[in-house]
Amino acid sequence: MTSSTPTAAPTTSAPTTSAPAPPAGAPADADADRTADASVPRPALLSVDDDPAVSRAVARDLRRRYGSRYRVVRAESGDAALEALRELKLRGEQVAVLLADHRMPGMTGIEFLEQAMDLFPQARRVLLTAYADTEAAIDAVNVVDLDHYLLKPWAPPEEKLYPVIDAQLDAWAVSAPPPVPQAKVVGHRWSARSSQVREFLARNQVSYRWFASDSAEGRRLLDAAGVDESAVPLVVTPDGEPLSAPDDATLAARVGLATSPTTDFYDLVVVGGGPAGLSAALYGASEGLRTALVERVATGGQAGQSSRIENYLGFPDGVSGAQLTERARRQAVRFGAEIVLAADVVGLDVQGSARHVRLADGSVVGAHTVLLASGVAYRELDGPGLSALTGRGVYYGSALTEAPACEDQDVFVVGGANSAGQSAMHLSRTARSVTLVVRGEHLSSSMSHYLVEQLAANPKVRVRTCCEVVEAVGDDHLERLVLRDSRTGEKEEVETSHAFVFIGAVPRTDWLDGTVARDARGFVLAGPDLLDEGRPPSGWPLDRPPYHLETSRPGVFVAGDARAESAKRVASAVGEGAMAVMLVHRYLEQL
């Protein structure tokens, strides 16, 4: 965070564009002057202050200097500002700077900025404070990555306001993505592939609008594309190209995600974009290694789907998995790491000093070293109807796009570890009730103490131990679950349309069969776990033992949940990713 006495910076050179009508919830004067071209919206500067006089003064001073290049939006409450941001997001517009007063009733400036991060993570965040609130502003660094705090009053603006905003706009212009019109998705409410497409776009931070295929707008889009309901999900890309039931690779390429490496050889290729992979990509690139990260779906892994991580160091108020993932991704990219999405790795070949990662599309990426950070998948439930209803009421992991549909519903969460507990707490905010189905006798044996206490204190959450799901019932979607008490053997049918499953980890390592040593469950062995009475494994070609995170193949490392005996925690995965880069350097020095 910068100090409260900023240094002047040159004015950003953003192009002059025009603005559409103000978003709903914003006051009438939120729409600044327009230019002749009304088709391209200007990036927004949004200020929120509950004092009308101060709110008008901020907007006036901002318009005076930036009104020709930026759209100035003001609001007089956090809720109104969030509503304005949601409308801007839906239109595919950009927000460059957020200025929020700290002391607002109902929602403080820090609380507003924290929620605004989910909508516009690239926007620069400035807190308006009185001198007595500077400690709160400093504390906000951990909560919202505050970029600056500005003391009130800021007169004269030429000395105290404009240099701050100039600096923030310069910083935003460097990292801001180009404006992209919104994609549209037309599908069935209970279509498994429709759900997968929506989840893919949401996890990759791609803005889209959802239309049911039987809605008026959905039918209009299907007619315009020349297809019927059998072709859903239909995705209309930002430039108007219709895609009928596209696979992930096609979808990613058409909505502007990077799906192929820019070159064919790197110092380090990271397989998997969870916390371990992102950490390795960040440290590798920042230390001068040509680094590429290859991810099959979206960065973040299981941690990226977590609704709230409350025991990660440095975030005393917790942080969502999506926020943590997006910050890490931006850091890695800023240091020069390439992130390749929708690329499914199917094989690894070792040829002399080169390692070649084979992708499902037939392409090959070479590197001096490879880090395996492919993580784990949730184990699937076994029983009648469960497979058929997957994606149609039965979901593995925290399905980001399905949570809103659980409002006022009776929801079931299956599992007894932290991911299940975090999901149950998140869903309980809007669901009528959440039932946590746990196979073991006690939550404390598999879940962190703080989560056990939160669940026990939540009146909407019911915990059923010694219980398991044995069947799912429904026609086109989940309607009932059959539960069995493992102590008595008695079965019970319960009505529900949503079940979220978190029942253990299965490593994503089948593609490594015959390439590196794995344990009986498929987790990759590394370092000391490979040694036989202190001696390197059979076939080890070097005169030194494997490094701590090195697999049975020299120059191939493993980190995170895919490694045998790993801690299965975000912090340990991040640490292993950083440690792996240190060992990569040591390996490269010997080539």
Both tokens of 449, joined, read: 């103490």
- Each residue of 372-395: pLDDT tens digit? 999 999 899 999 999 999 999 999
pLDDT of 267 above 90:
yes
What residues form DSSP beta bridges with 463?
Answer: 436
- Each residue of 25-72: pLDDT tens digit? 343 343 333 333 445 678 999 999 999 999 999 999 999 999 999 999
Same fold for the pair 28-175 and 183-247: no
Q: For 460, which DSSP code?
A: T
d(C-alpha 450, C-alpha 584), whole Å: 37
pLDDT of residue 132: 59
Q: Report whether 74 contacts 26 (CB < 8 A).
A: yes
Write out the CATH class of domain 28-175: alpha beta
Give a three-class secondary structure readout of 307-360. Answer: CCECCCCCCCCCECHHHHHHHHHHHHHHCCCEEECCCCEEEEEEECCEEEEEEC
pLDDT of 14 above 60:
no
d(C-alpha 251, C-alpha 243), whole Å: 8
pLDDT of residue 86: 82
When pLDDT is averaged across residues 209-228 and rounded to a whole number, the result is 89
Most confident listed range (126-135, 150-159, 362-371): 362-371
Write out the CATH class of domain 394-503: alpha beta
Structural fold of domain 265-377+506-589: FAD/NAD(P)-binding domain (3.50.50)
pLDDT of residue 15: 32
Q: For 537, which DSSP code?
A: P
* Look-up of token digits 């992130």: 339
d(C-alpha 282, C-alpha 289), whole Å: 10
Domain boundaries, the chain: 28-175, 183-247, 265-377+506-589, 394-503
- Each residue of 134-170: pLDDT tens digit? 676 667 666 667 888 888 778 899 998 999 999 999 9
Q: For 408, which DSSP code?
A: T
pLDDT of residue 16: 32
pLDDT of residue 175: 78
- Each residue of 521-567: pLDDT tens digit? 999 999 999 998 778 888 899 999 999 999 999 999 999 999 999 99
pLDDT of 87 above 90:
no
When pLDDT is averaged across residues 189-212 and rounded to a whole number, the result is 92
Closest among 366, 345, 363, 364 to 355, alpha carbons compared: 366
d(C-alpha 269, C-alpha 476), whole Å: 42
Write out the CATH class of domain 183-247: alpha beta
d(C-alpha 565, C-alpha 585), whole Å: 24
Closest among 107, 219, 214, 124 to 174, alpha carbons compared: 124
Task: Kindly give, in sequence order, each residue whose CB lies less than 8 Å from that of residue 159, ignoring residues fewer than 6 positions away.
Answer: none
When pLDDT is averaged across residues 96-113 and rounded to a whole number, the result is 90
Label residue 53 left, alpha or beta by phi (over 0 means left) and psi (-120 to 50 means alpha): alpha
